[in-house]
Structure 1
Amino acid sequence: MDAAPIIARAAEYLNPAERGDRSSGSVAAAILSEQGDLFFGVCIDTPCSMGFCAEHAAAAAMITARQSEIAMVVAVTRDDSGALQVLPPCGRCREFMYQLDDRNLAARVVLGPERVLTLADLLPERWSAPAAR
């Protein structure tokens, strides 16, 4: 799958909502599994650090479906003008995807319409033992 279709699919799940000092849905993610299924998630932001990223939500949906190997992942948001932006996964999300399945080092991470790197590219000096790489 090209990056453009998965970016567009992730954007369908953007649904920003504010509830006092809490918010959700301002970032959406799509994960394409190696089995060809798409999983989606949105962020939940809370003031006490109990929230989570959109990639975590999409990964949880994938794990719930008894899959763990990621082929491609993307996260998107809209800027103040409404333009769609692709976001790189934060360090916690990068590590989380790796921890779900070692094979996810080969996952393609969409960083823009024309820019895709592997998770291994984004985690070049992993903390795990070299033998595990």
Structure 2
Amino acid sequence: MDIWERLFTKAEVLYNHHNVSPFIYAQHVVTAIEADDGNIYTGFCFEATAGVFHLCAERAAAFRMFQHSGQTKTKKIITFRDSAPANGNSMPCGDCLDFLLQLNSKNKATRFMMAFKTRETVALSELLPKWRGEDRLDDIQ
């Protein structure tokens, strides 16, 4: 079993789309992240009509990674709904891409699964080539 299969299997068990209440929809998008140390962290989307609490699967998993290990660097991410990614249909939103770069600028090398069957991936740097936070990095890293 390769790393992509391991990531898929870990995230797949979280898929359970349902309404938590008339205002909240959850577990309709799931993700698994391979951290820099090789550990895997998972998350799912939690979407509320009150915009103050809308959490994408990728940010939930990255937060869990940081919360449990203090890590900020990611290597690989797979995100999907009810089936494995195909033809780039499971790309993260711009907020998630931005968050991953804010977490650690080296995450620009993180690979996202585009097509599970062929193992086609894309780097975060390709998805967000001109990151707005780049000029602030010299101050802290």
Structure 2: unaligned runs, 5 residues or longer: none
| Secondary structure in 1 matching 2:54 | coil
Question: Using a 3 Å threshold, how does the CA distance of structure 1 residues 48 and 63 change in structure 2: closer, same or farther?
Answer: same
4+ aligned runs moved over 3 Å, structure 1: none
Alignment: residue pair count: 127
The alpha carbon displacement at 1:129 in A equals 2.7
Q: Partners in 1 of 2:42 and 2:29 — Cα distance?
A: 11
Residue from 57, 60, 72 that aligns with 1:54 = 57
Which residue type is aligned with residue 111 of structure 1?
M
TM-score, length basis structure 2: 0.82
| Secondary structure in 1 matching 2:55 | coil
- What is the percent sequence identity of the aligned residues? 24
The alpha carbon displacement at 1:85 in A equals 4.1
Give 2:74's aligned residue.
Answer: 70
Q: Partners in 2 of 1:20 and 1:91 — Cα distance?
A: 27
Matched, 1:129 2:122: no
3-12 vs 91-100, which deviates more?
Answer: 3-12
- The structure, 1 or 2, with the larger RCO (C-alpha pairs under 8 Å, 6+ apart) is 1
Cα pair 2:8 2:84 within 8 Å, conserved: no
Which residue type is aligned with residue 81 of structure 2?
T
TM-score, length basis structure 1: 0.87
Structure 1: unaligned runs, 5 residues or longer: 79-83
106-115 vs 61-70, which deviates more?
Answer: 106-115
Q: Partners in 1 of 2:46 and 2:70 — Cα distance?
A: 23
Which residue type is aligned with residue 126 of structure 2?
D
Matched, 1:119 2:124: yes
Structural mapping, 1:36-115, within 5 Å? 36-49=38-51, 50-64=53-67, 65-78=69-82, 84-86=83-85, 87-113=90-116, 114-115=119-120
Q: Partners in 2 of 1:116 and 1:59 — Cα distance?
A: 19
Q: Partners in 1 of 2:101 and 2:34 — Cα distance?
A: 15
Which residue type is aligned with residue 25 of structure 1?
Q
| Secondary structure in 1 matching 2:42 | strand
Structural mapping, 1:7-18, within 5 Å? 7-18=8-19
Q: Deviations over 1:60-87 (max 9, x none)?
A: 1111121111010111101xxxxx1421
